[in-house]
Structure 1
Amino acid sequence: MGKKIAVVVTDHFEDSEYMEPVQSFKEKGHTITTIEMEKDKTVKGKQEQSEVVIDAGIDDVSPEDFDALFIPGGFSPDLLRADKRFVLFAKAFMDAKKPVLAICHGPQLLITAETLQGRDVTGYKSIHVDLKNAGGHLHDKEVVVCQNQLVTSRQPEDIPAFVEESLRILG
């Protein structure tokens, strides 16, 4: 049976880092719910190749409603981490040991949620120092899986490995 995956996303997400994993998750029978500040808003990728209509506003969902969290990269995670509601939402998944899938700049939300202490992690090269400062054990490789829960990758080129490990964790 497919898992219910929450996807926190806003404008300026990295197009391929949203579109490719979401397509793969859906093909495997998982349900995707996009979450932003407001329902029915259309957000645009930073390459302007993709538009996503938001399924739910952050105030209308609870981490308990979902089996996993996906955080695509781009500038979106940096914008979302300025909103405490998204930080607490992400923290709840980490605290509950539910699968968290974060690519490129996605781990920025987890840094702000202060959930990376002692975790094996990777991310885009510009946030490597931030990941280390957050207490994470940085590994500069295409995909890092920590405690069979947290899946992180660095950049669009890592999407195939990211999707493969994410699907494995999702079961």
Structure 2
Amino acid sequence: MTKKVAVLVTDLVEDVELTSPKETLEKAGYDVILVEKEAGKTITGKNGTTFTIDVSIDDVKPDDFVALLIPGGFSPDQLRADQRFVDFTKFFLENNLPLFAICHGPQLFIQTDLTKGRTLTSYITVQPDLAYAGGHIKDEAVVIDNNLITSRTPDDLPDFNKAIVSLLHS
């Protein structure tokens, strides 16, 4: 059985918050699948890195994947306006499946209405929004709440990457 990790992503993603976890997951034996509105589309990160989308959100189901990664930048804010991406994320939260988000990534959680009672972190400007949505915020490099792992910034990537692989291998 193939171990696939979905990545919900679009233009203006924080480049390293996609490339670093993706490389870590691939080294750990996972297929990392970029999911956006259109398969084959090229998106561009905030710092100019280009990425090719593997599959359309319309052609996948959340249970096709063992985990979900949501990198930061301006990508999550754009994706949360589309109910398909919200529902995809909601599936992982409702079913306590491995879900990893860094920086602005947790913005997508707000639209799911499942933030209340969760312990998490994010980029400093997103933390109040998560708190208003009922989340318990910690200002730590990595916050683990069952199968939900969140981090704040690219500086936290070494700890974030270690935590996500550790969870998947547990």
Give the length in aligned residue pairs.
169
Match of 2:7 in 1: 7
SS at match of 2:126: helix
Letter in structure 1 aligned against 2:44: K
- Quote the Cα distance in structure 1 between the aligned partners of 2:5 and 2:45: 20
- Distance apart, 1:3 and its partner CA: 2.8
- 1:37–1:57 Cα contact (<8 Å) kept: yes
Pair 1:76 & 2:93 matched: no
**2:134 maps to what in 1?**
135
Partner of 1:124: 123
For residue 93 of structure 1, what is the aligned residue in structure 2?
A: 92
What is the alpha-carbon root mean square deviation over aligned residues? 1.0
Q: 1:157 aligns with which of 155, 158, 167?
A: 155
Aligned to 2:165: 167
- One-letter amino acid of the counterpart of residue 128, structure 2: V
Q: Secondary structure at the match of 1:126?
A: coil
Amino acid at match of 2:42: T
Gaps of 5+ in 1: none
Task: Give the whole-Å Cα distance in 1 for the aligned partners of 2:27 and 2:144.
Answer: 22
Instruction: Measure, in 1, the Cα distance between the counterparts of 2:2 and 2:61.
Output: 19
Q: CA–CA distance in 1 between the matches of 2:22 and 2:63?
A: 20
Aligned partners of 1:142 and 1:28: how far apart in 2?
21
Distance, in Å, in 1 between the alignment partners of 2:37 and 2:98 is 22
TM-score by length of 2: 0.97
> 2:18 is matched with which residue?
18
3-state SS of the aligned residue for 2:140?
coil
Q: How far, CA to CA, are the matches of 2:68 and 2:18 in structure 1?
A: 13
Deviation of 1:46 (Å): 0.5
* Residues 2 and 57 (structure 1), Cα distance of their counterparts in 2 relative to 1, 3 Å cut: closer
Aligned-residue offset at 1:96: 1.3
State the alpha-carbon separation in 1 of the partners of residues 32 and 106 from structure 2.
19
TM-superposed CA distance for 1:72, in Å, is: 0.3
3-state SS of the aligned residue for 2:125? helix
The answer to whether the Cα contact below 8 Å between 1:4 and 1:66 also exists between their aligned partners in 2 is yes
TM normalised by structure 1 equals 0.96
What is the CA–CA distance in structure 2 between the aligned matches of 1:115 and 1:13, rounded to whole Å? 23
1:25-40 alignment runs, 5 A limit: 25-40=25-40
CA contact (8 A) 1:2 1:28 kept: no
Distance in 1 (CA, whole Å) between partners of 2:98 and 2:74 is: 22
